[in-house]
């Protein structure tokens, strides 16, 4: 994963460089938040699917060359997990081919690539939190294409940080929080899966943690003798719950007037909620490496949810 030819503090990450940061997927949940948090690190060139179509390999390659970034941040992805089962090629283009091209161009420019991946690279067995070097075994097309994207980045030999996260939500886009807030106003009762366990993660916390990592890397205080940090990291809010537990917390914390606190939330097993894509039961990710290498400890998911709901 590491390349030998890079110096410990490579020139493109020097604090003396004015960084040009190419941000993909700037309209997505995470991309939207990154647009703000990355702004303190340099000039952000924010692109969305209308201005950079990641399904068009040749265009992506040319645009990266034209922009010549020092840092590429890629939160864009084909994230429609169930739809990916019937559109594997579209998911493959965006989640595997495009990150590979971004990585090849990053290597060519000596730029850093920051990419995001998922708990769905794991098969969900056991109950222990997954560590970065645990064996992967995705259960669905989305997870497979994301895992292949990680491998394409590693194979390209660029400096890279891959942040695997889980159950992302925020105040915009399509996510469990916003779906629950709507359904809790519409239905007398809701059946929610209670045997998939993971960590709901606020998109803003991910964006802020990303910016903190990058600011450490460009800091003049960074010790040039420190080991190169490139590789995979798990990055989620702390703690764990089920989708049912997440829904209960949303119901308890959402104090808006139209909210009906009497809606009955019924826990069900995954087997009673069949979906085209199979989901892992154990989605716990161990964030220990992020803390050891960058000293970052993510806040717990309940605190993050409360802060996020305060902004809804
Ligand atoms: N959401 C989750 O629960 C979750 C869980 C684990 C990991 N992750 C990972 O975390 C990262 C961020 O996820 P997110 O929740 O912020 O995703 P999101 O809200 O679904 O946003 C994804 C973005 O990707 C862009 N995109 C899709 N196809 C594209 C294409 N062909 N060309 C250019 N852009 C394209 C979309 O652009 P437009 O808006 O312009 O269409 C969208 O803005 C992704 O890598 C995802 O795999 C997410």
pLDDT at 261: 72
Angle between helices 176-186 and 243-253 (to 10 degrees): 60
Q: Where does the pLDDT of residue 10 fall: very low under 50, low under 70, confident under 90, or very high at 90 and above? A: very low
The runs of H, that is alpha helices, within the chain are: 29-37, 57-67, 88-92, 98-109, 141-156, 176-186, 203-218, 243-253, 288-294, 301-309
- Mean pLDDT (the chain, rounded): 92
Q: Residue 190 has what DSSP assignment?
A: E
The pair of structure tokens assigned to 6 is 């890079």
* pTM score, whole prediction: 0.93
Q: Where does the pLDDT of residue 310 fall: very low under 50, low under 70, confident under 90, or very high at 90 and above? A: confident
Ligand 1: centre distance to CA 24 (Å): 9
User: Model confidence over 33-84: pLDDT tens digits?
Assistant: 999 999 999 999 999 999 999 999 999 999 999 999 999 999 999 999 999 9
Nearest CA to ligand 1 atom 21: 28
Cα–Cα distances in angstroms (integers) from residue 280 to residues 33, 84, 126, 265, 288, in the given order: 27, 16, 10, 22, 21
pLDDT at 157: 93
Ligand 1: centre distance to CA 43 (Å): 22
User: Model confidence over 148-160: pLDDT tens digits?
Assistant: 999 999 999 999 9
Residues with CB under 6 A from ligand 1: 24-25, 27-31, 48-49, 52-55, 75-79, 94, 116, 118, 146, 165-168, 173, 203
Q: Where does the pLDDT of residue 274 fall: very low under 50, low under 70, confident under 90, or very high at 90 and above? A: very high
How large is the greatest C-alpha to C-alpha distance in the chain, in angstroms? 61
Say whether 58 sits in a helix, a strand or coil: helix
CB 73 within 8 A of CB 21: yes
Q: What is the mean pLDDT of residues 299-310?
A: 95
- Sequence-separated contacts (24+) of 212-217 with Cβ below 8 Å: 212/294, 212/296, 213/161, 213/294, 213/296, 214/38, 214/41, 214/71, 214/114, 215/40, 215/41, 216/294, 217/13, 217/112
pLDDT at 5: 37
User: Model confidence over 102-127: pLDDT tens digits?
Assistant: 999 999 999 999 999 999 999 999 99
Answer yes or no: is pLDDT of 258 > 70: no
Those residues with Cβ within 8 angstroms of residue 302's Cβ, 6 or more apart along the chain or in another chain: 239, 249
Q: Which residues are catalytically annotated?
A: 142
Which atom of ligand 1 lies closest to the CA of 53?
A: 32
Q: What is the mean pLDDT of residues 192-217?
A: 97
User: Model confidence over 127-139: pLDDT tens digits?
Assistant: 999 999 999 999 9
């Amino acid at each position: 994963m590491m390349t030998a030819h890079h110096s410990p503090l490579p020139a493109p990450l020097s604090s003396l460089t004015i960084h040009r940061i190419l941000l993909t997927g700037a309209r997505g949940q995470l991309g939207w938040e990154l647009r703000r948090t990355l702004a303190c690190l340099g000039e952000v060139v924010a692109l969305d699917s209308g201005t950079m179509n990641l399904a068009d390999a040749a265009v992506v390659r040319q645009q990266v060359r034209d922009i010549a970034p020092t840092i590429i941040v890629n939160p864009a992805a084909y994230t429609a997990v169930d739809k990916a089962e019937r559109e594997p090629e579209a998911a493959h283009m965006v989640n595997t081919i495009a990150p590979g091209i971004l990585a090849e161009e990053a290597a060519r420019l000596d730029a850093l690539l920051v990419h995001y991946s998922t708990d769905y690279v794991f098969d969900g067995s056991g109950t222990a939190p997954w560590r970065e070097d645990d064996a992967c075994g995705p259960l669905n097309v989305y997870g497979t294409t994301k895992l292949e994207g990680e491998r394409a980045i590693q194979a390209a030999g660029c400096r890279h940080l891959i942040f695997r996260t889980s159950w992302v939500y925020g105040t915009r886009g399509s996510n469990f929080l916003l779906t629950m807030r709507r359904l809790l106003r519409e239905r007398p009762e809701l059946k929610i899966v209670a045997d998939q366990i993971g960590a709901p993660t606020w998109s803003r916390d991910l964006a802020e943690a990303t910016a903190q990592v990058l600011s450490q890397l460009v800091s003049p205080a960074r010790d040039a003798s420190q080991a190169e940090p490139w590789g995979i990291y798990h990055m989620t809010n702390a703690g764990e719950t089920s989708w049912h537990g997440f829904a209960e917390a949303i119901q308890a914390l959402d104090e808006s007037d139209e909210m009906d606190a009497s809606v009955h939330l019924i826990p069900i097993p995954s087997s009673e909620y069949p979906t085209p894509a199979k989901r892992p039961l154990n989605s716990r990710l161990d964030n220990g490496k992020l803390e050891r290498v960058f000293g970052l400890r993510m806040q717990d998911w309940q605190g993050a949810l409360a802060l996020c709901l305060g902004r809804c």
